[in-house]
Structure 1
Amino acid sequence: MAKLFLSLSFLLLFHGCLAFQQQNECQIQRINAVEPRERIESEAGFTEFFDSNDQQFQCAGVEVIRHQIQPQGLLLPSYTNAPILFYVEQGNGYQGMMLPGCPETYEESQQQFQGRQGGQSLQDRHQKIQEFHQGDMVAIPSGAAHWIYNNGQDDLVLIVLLDSTNFANQLDQYHRRFFLAGNSQQGQQQQGRQQQQGRQQRSWGRRQQGQSQEAGSNNIFQGFDVEVLAEAFNVDRETAEMLRCEDDRRGHIVRVERGLQVVSPSMRRQEQWQGQQGGRGRGRDNGFEETICSMKVRANIDDVSQADVYNPEAGHCNHLNSFKLPILRLLQLSAERGVLHRNAIMAPHWIMNAHNIIYVTNGNMRMQIVNHEGQAVFDDQIQERQLVVVPQNFAVVKQAGEQGCRWIAFRTNDNAMINTLAGKTSAIRALPVDVLTNAYQMSREEAQRLKYNRDETVMFSPGSMSSRGRPPRD
């Protein structure tokens, strides 16, 4: 009984310490603008990693990586233990996602097959393939195998968020990538970098310190017996050994020499079909019309005509949430595309129900972030290709530099809500004048100016002030 009591006491103490540690992950005294810390090279591109051990990433429970894929480059099929949301910063491409139980609805016609028999080609069929373009946001559920191919003329650049502490991840607080093909040993040997004491080492699926560099995290077929693979796929031993890719040194992004041949409708046919649909059912989600097999996984977030906030003198914002892209409800993620013109200001605000991960794609801006103690935990310029995490409820204000600023923001809630401190719809505007007078020890006239002197809503033009005429009475 005494042993049982001691065991239970230790267990409770352990869980209590763990809970205390988790609760203090966002006790941040200083936030820094960060850049990628690590890079894994491959035959046809590379992947850069932001340091997930940084305190701000630990607070938000997310990881961020950046893929740069050369023309005709293929990111090998893989799946992760965390949901993915990626933004297409540059280029075009294909993305295939293999979902269990979904039919292979893309197939070559019998006529095409007969016409190609002379060339020893076999008929192909596969699940639906998505084509994406610059400005698109693409969602991938946890555990869904996927691949990405650059079919354009320029490098394909993807900014990828992995929500590693999402409820869908039951392994640990980090993301792990399970490759179905390839051999990442080459990238690991080039990398060879150690994380901080007590941390695990990064290389496409973390492995513990102390293991040899040659141990590698290769494709999952390398862990299976060749005879078992041959039996499972009903193929000969030689074919089964090819699944293991033991002699493949191309890395995780490989070059497709003659271009990727897949069954896919032309863009013109897709646009004609979408035009015929007209928009029927757009925005409706009744759980029957849209299953996981037919669910939209892509939406463009760069289209200024679809802006949710627009001020021609200041800039605009596009918000992507689960009302616009229902699959985000499954992922519990959303996004924002923001544009500020030269010296324009985004109203001081806080996100009520989500962490905000901000990555600058063009230009620069000054940001100030304030915690619950009224301390500025960040007051600096954030430049192109830098990233900052704004924890939930921390107040933030942004002002673009001389070149203006564009950014993409990922948020850890499918319907993130913003509350502003200044402007027409702000918390200060909603307070009675007498509350302001007594709270800030100011005259009634000063309180009225505080409430009504800024008549814009979210984005403020530089140096502009609303009319200084007599404010309306409360």
Structure 2
Amino acid sequence: MASKTSLLLSLLILFSTCLAHHQQQQQLPQNQCQIGRIDALEPYDRIQAEGGVTEYWNADEQQFQCAGVEFLRHRIQPGGLLLPSYVNTPLLSFIERGRGVQGVVLPGCPETFESSQEQQFSGQSQRRGERFQGLQQDRHQKVQNLKQGDVVAIPAGAAHWIYNDGDSELVAVVFFDTQNNANQLDQSHRRFFLAGNPQSQSRQQQGQRQPRRQQQGQTHQEQPYANAGNIFNGFDVEFLEEAFNVDRETAEKLQGQRDQRGHIVNVEQELQIIRPPQSRREQEQEQGRRQGGRRGGWSNGFEETICSLKLRENIDNPTHADFANPEAGRISNLNSFKFPILRQLQLSAERGELHRNAIQSPHWTLNAHNLLYLTDGSMRVQIVNNAGESVFDDELREGQVVVIPQNFAVIKRAGEQGSRWISFKTNDNAMIANLAGRVSVIRSLPVDVVANAYQLSRNDAQRLKFSQQESLLFSPSSSRSQGRASA
């Protein structure tokens, strides 16, 4: 009887501990979002490597902590290879400039790209002579071409790499959702390299400030790659020899301890990759299949398996815009209906463009945090919290980032040169509610409710509801003319 009582007591203590921990975890994001001020952020630090540089934003900033996200930017030079690695969070990357090739390895999937016997001794292999004699033909998982405007989705733990095969710099910005259910480590993104010695080329910017959390006596991983060797470095060389059935010299090269190139390396000769060319007709057919699937003409929900998941979608094509106003701009949303893998990642993206002095309707996002990165131009952004207080009212410039927490209201107005942005959102079908315009909350309220809520006459409430005839993107000329007409 005593043993049963002791066991029951132990279970109660364990249950209470787990419940308290769960409640603490549930309260943590709420406490982190008590934000009094949001700032426009630029890269906090950089990691230099042989073939490029990675710039990253300070993950200890309060707005990043609130949203549970992190952000960085790769600048890969022509011929540069971002070494294979994987991370503990799902990620979305956006190709801001340039072109390249990317490979993503999904565990358990077949190596469907393979060279023929005739190709085995051609090209680079032939130049290297007898060294390749007797080797099997190459096989690997499929790769994808990257171009400006592509959004790439990569599940947590999937190994990936990028190669710049163009003649100009490839710029890719990367968004990490550290609070995603797929991440069971901690509230930070961790990159696990499969090759190289990333720490050898790391350096910090001169005059950098200390992270906010470190000033308060807390610690954070300041440089994601600065103290990182590749994962083989932690294994004994003898184990690697046996596991790969190779000699000691090769096993030591796996560890990369003498590699001084960093995490982005220069490829000595053009990278030889099995990459079947895709004709324009094939591209048009693929586009037709996607459009047909969105209309429901052919899709039955089983077209994509884990091994055939589409990992790349271009968001820059103006013909795919969801909202367009020739006088104001356009917005394209990339959600799980258009890009099915986003349902698994629970993420989405938005590409927006505003013409000179045009305005996007004030709105809030119902079900997601929103990280906004400005790729071109400038725009004035105002963000308001639940207390009706302005937490951000400033000009956002090219290359800057701002986080808009869930339900915080925001309004945007483009500068004299217009503006373009990419937004990453923490829901696969992020939804917004507009405050002004033809499809808005105010427009949907009864006139008497508007009149009494804002102490207006019924006529003034009528004008408030119906004076703005545009829906989401407002041209500056129409806004001024409609304002004069209602005066």
TM-score of the alignment, normalized to the shorter chain, above 0.5? yes
Q: Counterparts of 1:55-454 in structure 2 under 5 Å? A: 55-113=62-120, 119-120=129-130, 121=132, 122=135, 123-188=137-202, 195=211, 196=214, 197-204=217-224, 216-268=227-279, 271-276=280-285, 279-280=288-289, 282-283=293-294, 286-454=300-468
Instruction: Work out the CA distance in 1 between the residues paired with 2:312 and 2:387.
Output: 39
Q: Matched residue of 1:240: which SS?
A: helix
Q: Matched residue of 1:36: which SS?
A: coil
Letter in 2 for 1:356: N
Instruction: Work out the CA distance in 2 between the residues paired with 1:338 and 1:23.
Output: 29
Name which of structure 1's ranges 191-200 and 381-390 shifts more when overlaid on structure 2.
Answer: 191-200
Instruction: Summarize the Cα distance change of 1:469–1:397 in structure 2 as closer, same or farther, 3 Å threshold.
Output: closer
Once the two structures are superposed, residues 247-267 of structure 1 have per-residue CA deviations (whole angstroms, 9 ceiling, x without a partner) of: 001000000021111010124
Instruction: Summarize the Cα distance change of 1:125–1:7 in structure 2 as closer, same or farther, 3 Å threshold.
Output: closer
Give the TM-score normalised by the residue count of structure 2. 0.89
- 2:3 aligned residue: none
Shift of 1:20: 3.1
CA RMSD of aligned residues (A): 2.4
Q: Matched residue of 2:195: which SS?
A: coil
- 2:38 aligned residue: 31
Once the two structures are superposed, residues 83-119 of structure 1 have per-residue CA deviations (whole angstroms, 9 ceiling, x without a partner) of: 0100000000100011111111111112322556754
Q: Does the aligned pair in 1 maintain the 2:202–2:262 contact within 8 Å?
A: no
Q: Does the aligned pair in 1 maintain the 2:74–2:173 contact within 8 Å?
A: yes
Once the two structures are superposed, residues 258-284 of structure 1 have per-residue CA deviations (whole angstroms, 9 ceiling, x without a partner) of: 11110101243xx33334557235336
Name structure 2 gaps, 5 residues minimum: 1-5
Instruction: Summarize the Cα distance change of 1:173–1:277 in structure 2 as closer, same or farther, 3 Å threshold.
Output: closer
Once the two structures are superposed, residues 350-396 of structure 1 have per-residue CA deviations (whole angstroms, 9 ceiling, x without a partner) of: 11111111001111111111111111111111111111100011110
Shift of 1:234: 1.1
Q: How many residues align?
A: 460
- 1:210 aligned residue: none
Name which of structure 1's ranges 112-121 and 72-81 shifts more when overlaid on structure 2.
Answer: 112-121
Q: Matched residue of 2:476: which SS?
A: coil
Q: Matched residue of 1:343: which SS?
A: coil
Instruction: Work out the CA distance in 2 between the residues paired with 1:327 and 1:11.
Output: 33
Letter in 1 for 2:447: V
Shift of 1:469: 12
Name structure 1 gaps, 5 residues minimum: 206-212
Shift of 1:12: 5.7
Q: Does the aligned pair in 1 maintain the 2:46–2:203 contact within 8 Å?
A: no
Instruction: Work out the CA distance in 2 between the residues paired with 1:342 and 1:408.
Output: 18
Q: Does the aligned pair in 2 maintain the 1:184–1:204 contact within 8 Å?
A: no
Q: Does the aligned pair in 1 maintain the 2:196–2:261 contact within 8 Å?
A: yes
Letter in 1 for 2:84: P
Give the TM-score normalised by the residue count of structure 1. 0.91
Shift of 1:184: 1.6
Instruction: Work out the CA distance in 1 between the residues paired with 2:360 and 2:115.
Output: 51
Once the two structures are superposed, residues 123-160 of structure 1 have per-residue CA deviations (whole angstroms, 9 ceiling, x without a partner) of: 21110001010011111110000000001111000111
Instruction: Work out the CA distance in 1 between the residues paired with 2:153 and 2:18.
Output: 38
Shift of 1:191: 6.8
Q: Matched residue of 2:456: which SS?
A: coil
Instruction: Work out the CA distance in 1 between the residues paired with 2:340 and 2:15.
Output: 43
Instruction: Summarize the Cα distance change of 1:229–1:367 in structure 2 as closer, same or farther, 3 Å threshold.
Output: same
Once the two structures are superposed, residues 187-214 of structure 1 have per-residue CA deviations (whole angstroms, 9 ceiling, x without a partner) of: 3465798641311232336xxxxxxx8x
- 1:20 aligned residue: 27
Shift of 1:294: 0.9
Instruction: Work out the CA distance in 1 between the residues paired with 2:241 and 2:352.
Output: 52
Once the two structures are superposed, residues 30-58 of structure 1 have per-residue CA deviations (whole angstroms, 9 ceiling, x without a partner) of: 11111010100000111011111111001
Instruction: Work out the CA distance in 2 between the residues paired with 1:296 and 1:114.
Output: 32
Instruction: Work out the CA distance in 2 between the residues paired with 1:417 and 1:329.
Output: 14
Name which of structure 1's ranges 453-462 and 288-297 shifts more when overlaid on structure 2.
Answer: 288-297
Q: Does the aligned pair in 2 maintain the 1:203–1:217 contact within 8 Å?
A: no
- 1:45 aligned residue: 52
Q: Does the aligned pair in 2 maintain the 1:351–1:419 contact within 8 Å?
A: yes
Letter in 1 for 2:110: P
Instruction: Summarize the Cα distance change of 1:233–1:6 in structure 2 as closer, same or farther, 3 Å threshold.
Output: closer
Once the two structures are superposed, residues 426-474 of structure 1 have per-residue CA deviations (whole angstroms, 9 ceiling, x without a partner) of: 0000111111111111111101110111000000001414768999xxx
Instruction: Work out the CA distance in 2 between the residues paired with 1:399 and 1:467.
Output: 17
**Aligned-residue identity in percent:** 58
Instruction: Work out the CA distance in 1 between the residues paired with 2:64 and 2:454.
Output: 36
